[in-house]
Amino acid sequence: MFLNPRLKSHDLLFYDALEKRSELTKQENRRHAATLKGFEGECLYDEIFNDVGHGDVLVYRDLYIKIGESVTQYDALVIDDEGIAVNEIKNYTGDYKVEGGDWYRAGRRISEDPVAQLNRAVGKLIGLRNAANSSFRVSGKLIFPSDDFYLHTDDNSLWSKIVVRSDLRRYFRQFRGGKIGNKSQFIVRLLSEHIAENPYFKSDVDETRLRKGVYCEQCSSYNLLKTRFHFTCTECQSKMTNETLLLRALSDYKYLFYGKPMTRVSFMNFIGHSLTFKVVYRILLKHCYVDRKGKKTTYTFKYRNFEEAISKAELYFKYKDHLKG
């Protein structure tokens, strides 16, 4: 049973927004591609686990756990009365070689050390368990969900830490018949008391490089024609409500200027004044927390991102979008 949804990481949301509003540098392009690939690997893991079934275990996905002063990220934690299995998901593709503990791709040493990462992640949870005077088991596996991943190694002990695509279903099936009882509940409670926000994400974009305005949900074009309640894209003819486009802009703003206060003026600049103060104000009041302390009134987007905003049931679109294609 999945306990929480799989969400795009802050980094991925940042690069998605940045890509829509500026020309990415080579390095940004690489990072965007890498974060997207990682997310796709996690989704593939979820899909296969869904297919095999996870009714006999509890699964936390993409969690930050604060233990002592440090925060560790977990791709997946599989819990039953036996304990926790840490699954570190690596969406590697191509030929890899491990020699003397070092990892190489196409003959070149890579910057990551997956085994060390896994050991650290497992070690943190062992610390948490010991501090709670409990006795459940903590184990870990590196999961390689791509069927285009090949590993060569002379270190046979490595295979016990690894699950490749061809073994993934079998690995998931091992969790069948697991018991979810008091111990599992205890573990979930213990973890939930230590869940933290991603403390590492920061964004500081040079505002001048950003394209101001609102853009088409379907084809990302900025060439939109304004009518009273809608914008129509002149490239693909999609018709979108003011609200949809402003929610997208609010979501972009959140990740491009993460943690920085947003004022009505700064948001109006961000959207290139494509709507009137009055219309924007109404949307800000509806979808943001308002902080009237101090000289300036600031607004904080209520939702994690655009996708969450439009999926909220209470959201009522009077004038619907018509996306083409």
With contacts defined by CB under 5 A, name the span among 51-59, 133-141, 165-173, 230-238 that binds Zn ion: 230-238
**Interaction between residue 310 and Zn ion (CB under 5 A):** no
Which residue from 244, 267, 268, 245 is spatially nearest to 256, judged by alpha carbons?
267
Supply 195's token pair. 């869940």
Please report the DSSP string for 48-103 in residue order. Answer: HHHHH--TTSEEEEEEEEEETTEEEEEEEEEEETTEEEEEEE----EEEEEETTEE
Supply 101's token pair. 């503990």
Task: Report in angstroms how near the CB of residue 233 gets to Zn ion at its nearest.
Answer: 3
Decide: 165 and 145 in contact? Cβ < 8 Å.
yes
With contacts defined by CB under 5 A, name the span among 51-59, 79-87, 99-107, 228-236 that binds Zn ion: 228-236
CA angle 166, 8, 193 (to 5 degrees): 95
Single out the residue of 65, 138, 233, 245 in contact with Zn ion (rule: CB under 5 A). 233
Side chain identity at 63, as an amino acid letter?
Answer: L
Task: Report in angstroms how near the CB of residue 15 gets to Zn ion at its nearest.
Answer: 21
Single out the residue of 50, 192, 221, 276 in contact with Zn ion (rule: CB under 5 A). 221
3-state secondary structure of 161: helix
**Interaction between residue 218 and Zn ion (CB under 5 A):** yes
Give the DSSP H or E segment for 11: helix 10-21
In the complex with Zn ion, which residue's Cβ is closer, 74 or 215? 215
Size of the site for Zn ion (CB under 5 A): 8
In the complex with Zn ion, which residue's Cβ is closer, 235 or 307? 235
Distance CA 316, CA 246 (A): 14
**Interaction between residue 244 and Zn ion (CB under 5 A):** no
Single out the residue of 216, 246, 280, 288 in contact with Zn ion (rule: CB under 5 A). 216
**Interaction between residue 236 and Zn ion (CB under 5 A):** yes
**Interaction between residue 323 and Zn ion (CB under 5 A):** no
In the complex with Zn ion, which residue's Cβ is closer, 215 or 299? 215
> How many C-beta atoms surround the C-beta of residue 270 within 10 A?
23
With contacts defined by CB under 5 A, name the span among 137-145, 175-183, 233-241, 247-255 that binds Zn ion: 233-241
In the complex with Zn ion, which residue's Cβ is closer, 125 or 216? 216
Supply 13's token pair. 């949301």
Q: Which residues bind Zn ion (CB under 5 A)?
A: 216, 218-219, 221, 233, 235-236, 238
